Amino acid sequence: MQKRETWATKIGLIFAAAGNAIGLGNLLRFPSKVALYGGGAFIVPYFISLFLLGIPLMILEWVIGRFAGSKGHGSMVGIMGEFFNHSYIARIVGSLGVVIPFLIVCYYIYIESWTLGFAFFSLFKKLPQPIVAEDPKLIMMPFLDFYRNYTKPSPYAIVFLTITLFVNWYILERGIIKGIELTAKIGIPALLLMGIFLSIVSLSMNNWKGLEGLYFIFKPDFSRLLDPQVWVEASGQIFFTLSLAMGAIATYASYVKENEDVLKAGLYTTGLNEFVEVLIGASIAIPAAFAMFGASSIPELAEEGTFRIGFMSMPAILTALPFGYYLSFIWFFLLFIAALTSSLALIQPLVALFEDELKIFHSNSVNISMIMVSIGAFLSAFVPKFLDELDFWAGTLFLIIFGFIEILAFVWLFGVENFYKELTRDVFLKIPKVFVYLFYGTSAIFIGLLFYFWTITKLPEYLGELSWNLIIARGFIVASILLIILIAIESKRKYFDQERDDLS
């Protein structure tokens, strides 16, 4: 029987866990939301959500991961089974915590490959030439055309998708310590340095006009605090930016040593993620656009969202500066590192399922997982709206449902006393038990509001559409769920066979 790895160093553990949370959403989604929903006023519900929803769920995943990891389980199938006597129902419910990261990474890794491709084109000056014009739309038009042609997909997009898949494959093949931890130790400091450098570049544009842009997006419009959607968007951002309810944090936590201080680890992970999001993420794209295009362009750019800002606005802005193509390279390589550390974390729960529950050797577990991810990634590339469909179901609705399941199962059904005992074991600060009731009761309410918002406002839009490509996407989702459920059922038999072998 192969021995489970554990993280070699605390700094490697924190960087890897933070790399899981830090992704494209920190650098692109967050500044857009701030600009759209009240500026500084958005930060009020954002930080309230952080303390009442984000941190409690983050710590919950660290607690259950450490507990189950000490018993040899790293996927949510095994974690849920360990907490509830390895019943079939528990393992089947836990399978959703493997399906979610798998479906997300199927499209996320395709977007990740764009960042690598655009970094390459920036470095070799193959992006469009910047044009001089008063209208921001005219300035960005060549970059919009380039983006559309690239993501059709072009042959280059397929080449860089293949390279990105093999990069992830290679790192995961090397294991926890020599693969994921080493990548995080190099990648996260590099990400921080590049992020801080680009922040300074953006804020100092046009005689520090970018600094005015930072003030512009954080200028509070307190009247927006009375808008329920601002609160929903803020709590949703916290939910997604910390990678909550994906099963990935719990999987990483399963590789800690038995006496690891998971409270401290959870707080460090959250703190590093928020540093990148609030201080670096808000200081690059929107301030740069403000300095280049003026205040009137910000609401429109924020409304157009993540891809417009990341792949069109920023290269249009950066390539117009001295050494612009190299600055564009740094921008896209920064995005690539952020995406890579996230994709590794999203694939690992599937690897852990095969390795821990089916007792398949590590190398074969990685190979099976990456073949499955590759199928989903190429479908994301070639099937129109496949990416959007997976993002809605796995990246939104399933996350909210599983977040509620986690709180219900691991706090209330497992028992507050039992959860509190594990929460306060080997930690630097013993939280009063009353906070368990407060935080996890409030978290459930937040998730309920998110579920209501998405099902009332978004679900009818998606269910009202039907076409051949959506049938393929939904078929892939259903097939993935059924496959992981079958593996979860089979894993119970494997688990008891292993127990009998150990006793004999």
pLDDT at 192: 97
Please state, rounded to an integer, the average pLDDT across all residues of the chain: 92
Looking at beta carbons, which pairs linking 300-306 to residues 24 or more positions away fall under 8 Å?
A: 301/32, 301/35, 301/136, 302/31, 302/32, 302/33, 302/35, 302/36, 303/36, 305/29, 305/32, 306/24, 306/25, 306/28, 306/29, 306/32
Distance (Å, rounded) from C-alpha 504 to C-alpha 497?
11
pLDDT of 1 higher than 60: no
pLDDT at 134: 78
pLDDT at 499: 64
pLDDT at 204: 94
Distance (Å, rounded) from C-alpha 221 to C-alpha 15?
35
pLDDT of 215 higher than 80: yes
pLDDT of 193 higher than 80: yes
Please report which helix (H) or strand (E) contains residue 65, including its range: helix 55-69
pTM above 0.75, yes or no: yes
Question: How long a stretch of residues is the chain?
Answer: 504
pLDDT at 67: 96
pLDDT at 504: 59
Distance (Å, rounded) from C-alpha 249 to C-alpha 264?
14
- pLDDT per residue over 151-177, tens digit each? 999 999 999 999 999 999 999 999 999
Contacts of 85 by beta carbon, 8 Å cutoff, 6+ apart: none
342-363: average pLDDT: 96
pLDDT at 501: 65
φ, ψ of residue 162 in degrees (nearest 5): -60, -45
- pLDDT per residue over 34-72, tens digit each? 888 878 888 999 999 999 999 999 999 999 999 999 999
The answer to whether the beta carbons of residues 254 and 260 sit under 8 Å apart is no
Distance (Å, rounded) from C-alpha 476 to C-alpha 373?
12
Distance (Å, rounded) from C-alpha 110 to C-alpha 112?
5
Q: Does domain 10-503 have CATH number 1.20.1250?
A: no
Distance (Å, rounded) from C-alpha 153 to C-alpha 5?
39
| HEC profile of 398-448 | HHHHHHHHHHHHHHHHCCHHHHHHHHCCCCCCCCCHHHHHHHHHHHHHHHH
Percent of the chain whose pLDDT exceeds 90: 72
pLDDT at 449: 85
Distance (Å, rounded) from C-alpha 101 to C-alpha 109?
11
Distance of CA 222 to the CA centre of its chain: 29
327-347: average pLDDT: 97
Contacts of 266 by beta carbon, 8 Å cutoff, 6+ apart: 55, 58, 59, 61, 62
**Side-chain-facing half-sphere of 441: CA atoms under 13 Å:** 7
Q: Which residue has the higher pLDDT, 137 or 479?
A: 479
236-250: average pLDDT: 91
The answer to whether the beta carbons of residues 169 and 351 sit under 8 Å apart is no
Distance (Å, rounded) from C-alpha 331 to C-alpha 309?
12
pLDDT at 294: 83
Give the 3-state secondary structure of residue 504. coil
Task: Return the DSSP state at 283.
Answer: G
pLDDT of 248 higher than 70: yes
Q: So where are the chain's domains?
A: 10-503
15-29: average pLDDT: 92
120-147: average pLDDT: 89
pLDDT at 231: 87
Q: Which residue has the higher pLDDT, 500 or 428?
A: 428
Distance (Å, rounded) from C-alpha 174 to C-alpha 344?
12
Q: Which residue has the higher pLDDT, 32 or 467?
A: 467
pLDDT at 29: 86
Distance (Å, rounded) from C-alpha 453 to C-alpha 227?
13
The answer to whether the beta carbons of residues 447 and 407 sit under 8 Å apart is yes
pLDDT of 189 higher than 80: yes
484-495: average pLDDT: 89
pLDDT at 220: 83
Q: Which residue has the tokens 């089979």?
A: 490
Distance of CA 279 to the CA centre of its chain: 18
Whether a cis peptide bond, with omega within 30° of 0, leads into 130 is no
Percent of the chain whose pLDDT exceeds 70: 97
Determine the Cα angle at 40 with ends 38 and 45, to 5°. 80
Task: Return the DSSP state at 340.
Answer: H
Q: Which amino acid is at 464?
A: G
pLDDT of 305 higher than 80: no
